Amino acid sequence: MHESQIAAFLDSAAKAAKIIKETVEEDGLIHVFSHLDADGVAAAGIIGRALTRLDARFRVRITQWIEEKILEVLADKPDLIVFSDLGSGYVNLLKEKLGEFKIVILDHHQIRGETTDSFVHVNPHLHGIDGARDISGAGVAYFAARAIDRMNVDLAPMAVVGALGDLQDKYDQRMLGGLNEKIVEDGVKAGLLNVEKDLVFFGRETRPIHRTLASTTHPFIPGISGEEDKSLAFLANLDIKTRTDDKWRALRDLSDDEKKRLCSALADYLLSRGLRLEVANLIGYVYVLSREEPWTPLRDAREFGVLLNAAGRMDRSSLGVAVCMGDRGSAFEEVSKVLEEYRRSINKYLGWVMEKPERMRELENIYVVYGEDYIDDKIVGAISSILSSGLPNPEKPLIAFANVVEQGIAKISARTVDAVVARGVNLGDIMQASAEQCGGKGGGHNVAAGAQVPLDRIDEFIGVVNELVGKQLKG
């Protein structure tokens, strides 16, 4: 990432800011469309907050993908349409359907098609910056918001949440790098964010420590991952108390000394099993939203991300957007309940997949999860992410699909690991090509992508994906 690339990117964000401000000055109506996942919800929150501060007239909609049906709701003739965390993959569709509108795209997905002058297209890929790991949709929205008004630097933590929600912590020790690192610096300077190196288990603010240990898959600790009683015994052995009188202790409650003991015991444990590489994954960067209440999922940026994912995937995205815009009252209370429901559904779906071997099949080059009518199409992406991190053969990408019967389509989510991308696999390209061959649409990132295809062509689609992955692996 060169300074000149960054400058060109920031310049395009400033163009977006200008057109947004001009529209508000003319009292124009702004429609915001954002993506349904954590990053998209965070992006919507950032734009929503910036527009509120401008006293703008606007409306936010969260959607899983851009489809012709959505474009029809534009009958109330907005003066400007802003797409965040989506749009770049649909440039031709937007040109064709929305040619007469002013459009701003704030996205980080791979670009398909050529934009016209009536579009302001802000996307890191246009400037040779990696949109899969160096900046998220919320990050792009953040740079536009910051260009609207410097005051919006206080939204930096939301962009960090978006990036972590999109699993962009791909640098050494799970650090955010690239443009994400600049956003982290803004957040730290504003006194809103602390960056710590710590045990990097998920749930540090909210989960009882033994459950945190038992539920970790990254690092995977055989004999402890998935086994709560074993992790209770492990902690007891180290003389680390799991409870105070009135409540369970979370990772955040451990003293430095306790953490050190835990870390070195886990390292010894992993080494004794020959898992030298996993030891490096014990410690990593943790991003703390220092002004948020302790013991809430808002304080740890990774947990915040999961909360937003839950809101989006459980059809309650407006609650997520409200929390991102600052609501810590009723919206936060509601969304906490939604998070519980989300966890329950994920566990239910994972259990269902594991119940019968035909629900997850291994083909020559990929794994396929047959969610069909059982898995919710909005949650299939999360299921795909979770399953792909613990595959018997991690060299094979995984696709999971669910039926959206009323629309006659299957929703597919594809995931793989960086090592496979390094060998030349680009799931975004594969999803696009396979979907188009089967009368659908697809796209995304190299490691995580998705598609929609007509239900009756799903088997054909799976065959094409299997074949294309094989081709890319062979170079």
Helix (H, G, I), strand (E, B) or coil at 366: coil
Surface-to-core class of residue 473, CB atoms within 10 Å of its CB (0-12 exposed, 13-18 middle, 19+ buried): middle
450 touching ligand C5P, by CB under 6 A: yes
Does 124 bind Zn ion (CB under 5 A)? Our answer is no
Among residues 180, 216, 231, 413, which is the contact residue for ligand C5P, using CB under 6 A? 413
Identify which range of 10-18, 220-228, 261-269, 443-451 contacts ligand C5P by CB under 6 A.
443-451
In 3-state terms the chain splits into helix, strand, coil percentages (rounded to 5) of: 50, 20, 30
As measured in angstroms, the least distance from the Cβ of 191 to Zn ion is 27
C-beta closer to ligand C5P: residue 81 or 451:
451
Determine the angle formed by the axes of helices 301-313 and 156-165, rounding to 10 degrees: 70
As given in the structure block, the two tokens for residue 329 are: 């009252």
Per partner kind, with CB cut-offs from 5 to 8 A, the member of Zn ion, ligand C5P, none near residue 300 is: none
Tell me, residue by residue from 70 to 99, as one string, x for binding to Zn ion by CB under 5 A and - for no binding.
---------------x--------------
Window contacting Zn ion (CB under 5 A); options: 39-47, 330-338, 377-385, 435-443? 39-47
Using CB under 6 A as the binding criterion, the count of chain residues that bind ligand C5P stands at 18
51-80: which residues touch ligand C5P (CB under 6 A)? 65
Among 438, 448, 462, 469, binds ligand C5P (CB under 6 A): 448
Instruction: Report which residue's Cβ sits closest to ligand C5P.
Output: 444
Element of type H or E holding 35? strand 29-35
Site membership for ligand C5P, residue 35 (CB under 6 A): yes
- Both tokens of 315, joined, read 């059809």
Of 48-56, 275-283, 355-363, 435-443, the window that binds ligand C5P (rule: CB under 6 A) is 435-443
Q: Does 169 bind Zn ion (CB under 5 A)?
A: no
Q: Which does 137 bind (CB under 5 to 8 A by kind): ligand C5P, Zn ion, none?
A: Zn ion
Give residues with Cβ within 8 angstroms of 130, minimum separation 6: 124, 178
Contact 408, 377 (CB under 8 A): no
Helices (H) and strands (E) in the chain, counts: 18, 13
Exposure string of 307-335, with b = 16+ CB inside 10 Å and e = fewer, is bbbbbbbbebbbbbbbbbbbbeeebbebb
Q: Report, in Å, the least distance between residue 349 CB and ligand C5P.
A: 14
Binding-site ranges for ligand C5P (CB under 6 A): 35, 37, 65, 86, 89, 109, 381, 413, 441-445, 448-452
